[in-house]
Structure 1
Amino acid sequence: MNAVTHDSSLDADARAAVTIGRPADELRTLWLRPDTQSRIWSHFADVTPIDERTAEWVAHGPAGGEYRWRTELAAGGTNELRWSSSDGADVANAGVLVFQPAPGDRGTELHLDVRFDPPGGPLGQALSKLFHLVPREIVLKALYKFRALALTGEIPTTDPQPAARKGGTDR
């Protein structure tokens, strides 16, 4: 994300942005729906809403490892959402999602910044890269899934289509 167009107080490890042809209030409402987070982060973790502000996350890591944490939404303005993990999280993290008007009245720009603190310090970071769990890719994929959901009402997938080769009957 370009620092000229977005100034965040979060020192992010992962930054991504996407433009969606919908108004910001509609996108904010969709993001906050209980089922949205579990759908857009499914490539990274299982997300279970606890209440309106809290969710339980379970990510499956290399060698069968399982990492758990809770996130809680913080108070924020109408143009942003902030969250952070609770104390004792296996993967400490914090994030901010900012909604800005897109140029040319083309909808809304979403800027997502997330900071991950993988388990094991430098070793955990090396393992993350080795197993292709790169934070920017995780964040970017979540935004693309959210855009698809916002524009079409669904997230496209190749599972379990027979010709998709992954999980299909044509192995």
Structure 2
Amino acid sequence: MNPVQSDNAIKAAARASVTIGRPADELRTLWLDPGTQSRIWTHFAEVNPLDGRTAEWLARGPAGGEYRWRSEAVEVGPDEIRWSSLDGADVPNTGQLIFRPAPGDRGTELHLEVRFDPPGGVIGEAVSKLFHIVPGEIVRHALYKFRALALTGEIPTTDPQPAARKGGADR
């Protein structure tokens, strides 16, 4: 399997940035933790870490479609992490996370870019937009969850709680 995809295969890109009041090395360690990816991408895919650098992804699309791929992360240097899907991916993709000092000593800026080839080419892109699967929103939401996890150790949710009113277990 080859972890490098040709740029010709990648047709769409999504970018987002966030500032987190933590040092870059702490954030890099958290991002590379095998359990982190499975927590921050839940709105988009199920991520099953295989080891410290490789993971299996399963994204469900419109009309019951399932898209699977494996990705491999590589630390390029202290300020950058890259990853790409391995050969045979249903959704070929690459990603890059860059860490920069935030102005005014306010922590670290994270700049996330994900490039991908939507399933079905132009038709797949149209279906994705129709069903509100917007790549930019997926990337922004992942960074929002990562920021919450880095600052509080938790990711906030509005999912029903077991003891919540109207549908909870304690009626």
Structure-1-length-normalised TM-score: 0.88
Query: What letter is aligned with 1:48?
Result: N
Query: What letter is aligned with 2:159?
Result: D
Q: Deviations over 1:26-69 (max 9, x none)?
A: 00000011110000000000000111110000001101111000
Q: Percent of aligned pairs with the same residue?
A: 74
SS at match of 1:76: strand
The 4+ residue runs of structure 1 with deviation greater than 2 A are none
SS at match of 1:13: strand
Q: Is the 8 A contact 1:54 1:72 kept in 2?
A: yes
SS at match of 1:146: helix
SS at match of 2:83: strand
Deviation at 1:81?
0.3
Show the 5 A alignment for 1:18-167. 18-161=18-161, 162=164
Which ranges in structure 2 are unaligned for 5 or more consecutive residues? 1-9
Structure 1 stretch displaced more, 10-19 or 140-149: 10-19
Q: Residues 11 and 63 from structure 1, CA distance in 2 versus in 1: closer, same or farther, beyond 3 angstroms? A: closer
Query: What letter is aligned with 1:51?
Result: D
Show the 5 A alignment for 1:3-22. 13-22=13-22
Deviation at 1:116?
1.6
Q: Residues 12 and 104 from structure 1, CA distance in 2 versus in 1: closer, same or farther, beyond 3 angstroms? A: farther
C-alpha separation in 1, matches of 2:11 and 2:106? 28
Q: Residues 138 and 21 from structure 1, CA distance in 2 versus in 1: closer, same or farther, beyond 3 angstroms? A: same
User: Aligned residue for 1:7?
Assistant: none
SS at match of 2:27: helix
SS at match of 2:89: coil
Q: Deviations over 1:64-109 (max 9, x none)?
A: 1110000011340110000000111001110000000000000000
C-alpha separation in 2, matches of 1:16 and 1:75? 20
Q: Is the 8 A contact 2:31 2:37 kept in 1?
A: yes
C-alpha separation in 1, matches of 2:21 and 2:29? 15
C-alpha separation in 1, matches of 2:36 and 2:76? 19
The alignment covers a number of residue pairs equal to: 158
Structure-2-length-normalised TM-score: 0.88
C-alpha separation in 2, matches of 1:108 and 1:97? 12
SS at match of 1:47: strand
Deviation at 1:12?
6.1
C-alpha separation in 2, matches of 1:12 and 1:120? 13
Q: Is the 8 A contact 1:80 1:96 kept in 2?
A: yes
